[in-house]
Structure 1
């Protein structure tokens, strides 16, 4: 009983408790929020398998095709409470179709009559809330106060990026890259102040993050300019009505920032801790310690960038290979932009290491150090 009282007296524990209540309430709400949707929503009450057949395409890929009749109860709109049947077919690989189960809730498109209904996709808000809630709860429990600040910075960063895209969408004459640059500047400052607090090394981290990010993006822009983008498959973004190079550079800017910021804050914090524990350390030895920290994280951070970029295009890569495209053509069409982004981020990571070390030494000397 006394231990429970002690736990409840801690303000942060109340934050976690309130978050759990809100998370649980929102999660439960997603199971009964159909009436709040403008789009018709239905629940699959039964599935009748009509036929199953083996199919082979022109590239000799074998698959199994299922034809089903779905009975769906409408949960909202003018047809609420009514039931309809929909003919549905899918292949087991689910490359271009989706399998459904009983009790699944789905989003529907209905024209003039109920029997014209067809499924557009599954209703996935419950899954999204569950994954997001578990992620935020884990960050809170592990990071505690810093975790709360990290969540706040994540929200701010998301708002900044979305706002930049929204402004460009409303006023296409305004450069998307310019808007993203302003957003990155604001985001970096707010994020680092929230996560590390306002300390002397915070300013160093902000400057080194911005320098590392914009220098590597500038190098990329120069390379693209002098090579005319040779080898980068901008045609894979041909569906855009915007200049693909500008969109590519904006995406590089966003993707590089996270890795560069991580490197800058790791080196700055490590060097600050070394200085605190050994205040009589020489400047040369201090710089070597910072370089060693940078070398330890350089490879892993570059790999994180590479894997993060490549993982998103893996399904499309497999589809290309399944349709008898060569490995070189498949990689060039699907991984050209991703590999370019990863290489650019790697340059930013490498540049940020000496920039942060030099700025830490410069700041230390400005504070009156004689070493």
Structure 2
């Protein structure tokens, strides 16, 4: 296919416009200092002062650095002026950050410029680049389905944020109830966008919701019967909300995506089998759906487990570096994550028979031949 023919396709024109928009956004983030209320500075010079090796009581070694940074203010009342800022950091950058010449940084300035200090790097350009690459990959690989996925991603994010915002302004409204409503709405919108308005879409919606809420119900029942023994809710003690409510809300959101993926894979696979072999027996058709479920069950459960456990990996290393035992470290950092993964895994497994049964019921009601 020639370049001229490629450009003539409507969706390819849309991809080109998309690239131009993100290129424009990237250029804008490089020059948008005037739109920030927070003072922004650019480091023009870094003067190292001293470095020293430190060893703590657990024999962890690190190197402390002390630099003086010359920062030029790019916006606000001090625009154009420069100031010196002391920066102390460790090589591991566990609780501090290193800066280099050319970095743009966000500053905190009370009244005098000489009292300014750096809060963090200005990262909007990096965010735009990573987001642009992610969305462009979705569009190039998924084409129209990729565009629908992007729309569903935006809508789902907005729904979750809206639920949290409503709870923030009206704390008397139960957070789990808000998340439940959000999950139902998110499931319906996502599947309608991705698969369109057709009979298997409604089966997928129903099986996704049933699989998710049955697993949540089982999780809640187990917590009630055991009193939550073994779950380290104290790791969420900084919250002023009931920890069980927060935990169940996180399980609800976290397991939804995996359950939805299983439901849509089985329903789409069974639909395609029936379309190609309309004379297949109901027993053999159900067996084909079960085989599809068995093929994806293990991988989806592993994906869910790794997704939860990976988030706690930095804290596990911190615990181990500070001479905590392996059992204590895992119990404090992976207790809730493993529980979430197990709850989601229950939802994944239950969704397989639920989807198959719903598909069979649908065709018994309307007839096998469509």
**TM-score band (shorter)?**
over 0.9
Q: CA deviation at 1:18?
A: 1.1
Equivalent pairs, count: 369
Q: CA deviation at 1:7?
A: 2.6
8 A contact 2:305–2:338 mirrored in 1: yes
Partner of 1:65, secondary structure, is strand
Q: Where do 1:24-35 residues align within 5 Å?
A: 24-35=23-34
Alignment correspondent of 1:360: 359
Residues 1:59 and 2:58 aligned together: yes
Runs (4+) of structure 1 moved beyond 2 Å? 2-9
Alignment correspondent of 2:274: 275
Residues 1:305 and 2:304 aligned together: yes
Alignment correspondent of 2:71: 72
Alignment correspondent of 1:112: 111
Q: Where do 1:1-371 residues align within 5 Å?
A: 3-369=2-368
Q: CA deviation at 1:228?
A: 1.1
Q: CA deviation at 1:3?
A: 3.7
Q: CA deviation at 1:86?
A: 0.8
2:322 and 2:273 mapped to 1: Cα distance? 56
1:328 and 1:41 mapped to 2: Cα distance? 45
How high is the TM-score relative to the length of structure 2?
A: 0.98
Deviations 1:104-158 (A, max 9, x none): 1111111111111111111111111111110000000000010001100101101
2:277 and 2:91 mapped to 1: Cα distance? 63
1:64 and 1:284 mapped to 2: Cα distance? 67
2:97 and 2:217 mapped to 1: Cα distance? 43
2:98 and 2:312 mapped to 1: Cα distance? 22
Q: CA deviation at 1:200?
A: 1.2
Partner of 1:88, secondary structure, is strand
Deviations 1:154-184 (A, max 9, x none): 0110111110001010100001100110011
2:34 and 2:251 mapped to 1: Cα distance? 40
Q: CA deviation at 1:9?
A: 2.8
Q: CA deviation at 1:242?
A: 1.1
Moved more, 234-243 or 3-12: 3-12
How high is the TM-score relative to the length of structure 1?
A: 0.98
Give the CA RMSD over aligned residues.
1.1
Structure 2: 5+ residue stretches without partners: none
Moved more, 346-355 or 304-313: 304-313
1:115 and 1:220 mapped to 2: Cα distance? 55
8 A contact 2:320–2:326 mirrored in 1: yes
Deviations 1:11-41 (A, max 9, x none): 2112111111110000111111111111111
